[in-house]
Each structure stands twice: as structure tokens, then as C-alpha cells.
């Protein structure tokens, strides 16, 4: 899949060449049938590139990897940013950056296509960085989170509760802290955010860390990426 996209990128530059009959590793019919690219619909590559400045692992100061989150949740959150339910709270600088980035997304069709695109990608393995007490985290998860996010962290779309088993652990903790600290879920019409805020505020900072360490160890669907050890001298 990734290899295919690599080829696609190479091919895009060669589109003219293809047209002239020069050819490329993949024929045009295969290009059109690639699901991720079809999902992009009417979103231009430049818009997607703008998203990827922050939503990839390239930058130090970045947003979360979005790959593999459900389409309905991505679309809901993009609508929250577009309408100002999220992304207008000055206490959350990262959130306001994301709010500003929504200027690039002009239509509902583009918003839907972006949600479909990221949902079509496989969740990405990541390096676990949050440490905590797994037993304490497991106990809190069972009593305070599972009713809404499911026993395996798979989410419950029927109550608009997202999965928590695909996101990076640092991002889960970052968002839990933001709910607890009035940086997310404060807009009066953000019903889901307000509900989640109450759940996060009920736990101490340490307990939030334990819960995330448990989720990343036992519920996350991707295997942990290990840091590559520096070569021995």
C-alpha cells in the first residue's frame, strides 16, 4: 500500500509523460482504483500536504497521526473545528493552530473526503512513551471509561464515543489533560466534549497517566515500535 502510494507520487509527476505514452510503473486504471486516492475525492494534493505538515511524524511540534480513526469521528471533529466548537479556545494553542488550518477546507464535500481518506489508512504503530501503573490504569478503565469507549477501546459510534485504541499514547494523555484543564470540551454546544470533560476531570493527573499506559499496553491495536538503539561504539 505504502509502496503503491510512493509509486503514485512518482507517477503523478509523470502524468504528462504517461499521456504522451512514455509510461510509468502503474497503469492509469490502477491509479484510479487505489482506495486512499479515490477517497481523496475533490481534495487537492496541496490541501492534504498542508495537513501532513502537522499530522505526520516529520515535525517535532505536531498534531496526532490520524490514520485509522473512524470516518464519522474525524468528520465530527473537523466540523467542530470548522464551527468553532473546537479550535477557538486561546488556552489551547495547539487547538487554535488546527482551527486556523481549517481555512483550507472550504466545503463540506472536502471535509468529508478528508475524513474518508484518513479513515481508509491503517492505524500506524508508534513508540510508546507514557509510563504508568498498568494495574491501576486497568481498574480505572474498566469502571470509568469502558462503558463509553468499549472493553477493548473500540469506541461506540451509537453514543458518538470514539475508539481510543488507535491514537498515539502521548496524544491520548495530552487530550485527557486538556479536557481536565478546560482546554477542550468547554464550548457550551460541544455536548460530547462536555461529557468527556466530566470523565477526565474525575481522575487525578497520575491516574490519567496510568489509564493511558494501560490502553497503550493492552488495548492499542498496533504493535509497539521500538526506538532503534544507537550503534555500539
Which of 116, 185, 210, 220 contacts ligand HEC by CB under 6 A? 185
Which neighbouring-strand residues pair with 161? 156
Instruction: Assess 53 for contact with ligand HEC (CB under 6 A).
Output: yes
Q: Counting contacts by CB under 6 A, is residue 47 touching ligand HEC?
A: yes
Whether 146 contacts 71, CB under 8 Å: no
Smallest distance from ligand HEC to CB 176, Å: 5
Determine which residue in the list 36, 40, 105, 180 makes contact with ligand HEC, applying CB under 6 A.
105
**8 A C-beta contact, residue 73 and residue 44:** no
Alpha helices in 145-218 (DSSP H): 146-149, 169-180, 191-201, 205-214
Q: Is 144 in the site for ligand HEC (CB under 6 A)?
A: yes
Q: Does 107 bind ligand HEC (CB under 6 A)?
A: no
Nearer Cβ to ligand HEC (11/193): 193
Least gap, CB of 13 to ligand HEC (angstroms): 22
Nearer to ligand HEC, 58 or 232 (CB): 58
One of 42, 147, 204, 205 touching ligand HEC (CB under 6 A): 147
Is residue 136 a contact point for ligand HEC (CB under 6 A)?
Answer: no
Smallest gap from residue 66 Cβ to ligand HEC (A): 6
Q: How far apart are CA 154 and CA 139, in angstroms?
A: 17
Judged by CB under 6 A, which of 31, 65, 66, 213 binds ligand HEC? 66
Tell me how far apart the alpha carbons of residues 209 and 120 are, in angstroms, rounded to a whole number: 29
| Residues engaged in binding ligand HEC (CB under 6 A) | 47, 50-51, 53-55, 63-64, 66, 69, 74, 77-78, 92, 94-95, 97-98, 101, 104-105, 114, 144-145, 147-149, 160-162, 164, 167, 172, 175-176, 178, 184-185, 192-193, 195-196, 199, 203, 211
Amino acid at each position: 500500500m505504502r509502496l503503491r502510494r510512493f509509486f503514485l507520487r512518482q507517477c503523478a509527476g509523470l502524468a504528462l509523460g504517461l499521456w504522451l505514452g512514455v509510461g510509468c510503473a502503474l497503469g492509469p486504471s490502477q491509479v484510479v482504483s487505489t482506495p486512499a486516492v479515490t477517497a481523496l475525492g475533490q481534495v487537492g494534493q496541496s490541501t492534504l500536504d498542508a495537513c501532513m505538515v502537522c499530522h505526520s511524524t516529520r515535525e517535532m511540534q505536531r498534531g496526532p497521526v490520524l490514520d485509522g480513526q473512524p470516518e464519522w469521528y474525524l468528520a465530527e471533529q473537523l466540523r467542530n473545528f470548522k464551527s468553532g466548537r473546537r479550535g477557538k479556545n486561546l488556552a489551547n494553542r495547539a487547538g487554535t493552530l488546527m482551527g486556523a488550518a481549517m481555512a483550507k477546507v472550504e466545503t463540506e464535500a472536502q471535509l468529508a473526503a478528508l475524513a474518508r481518506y484518513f479513515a481508509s489508512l491503517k492505524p500506524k504503530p508508534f513508540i510508546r512513551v507514557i509510563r504508568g501503573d498498568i494495574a491501576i490504569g486497568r481498574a480505572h478503565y474498566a469502571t470509568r471509561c469502558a462503558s463509553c469507549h468499549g472493553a477493548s477501546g473500540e469506541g461506540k459510534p451509537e453514543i458518538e464515543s470514539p475508539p481510543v485504541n488507535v491514537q498515539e499514547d502521548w496524544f491520548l494523555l495530552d487530550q485527557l489533560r486538556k479536557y481536565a484543564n478546560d482546554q477542550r470540551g468547554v464550548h457550551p454546544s460541544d455536548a460530547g466534549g462536555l461529557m468527556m470533560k466530566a470523565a477526565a476531570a474525575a481522575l487525578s493527573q497520575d491516574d490519567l497517566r496510568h489509564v493511558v499506559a494501560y490502553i497503550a499496553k493492552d488495548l492499542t491495536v498496533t504493535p509497539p515500535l521500538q526506538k532503534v538503539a544507537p550503534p555500539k561504539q
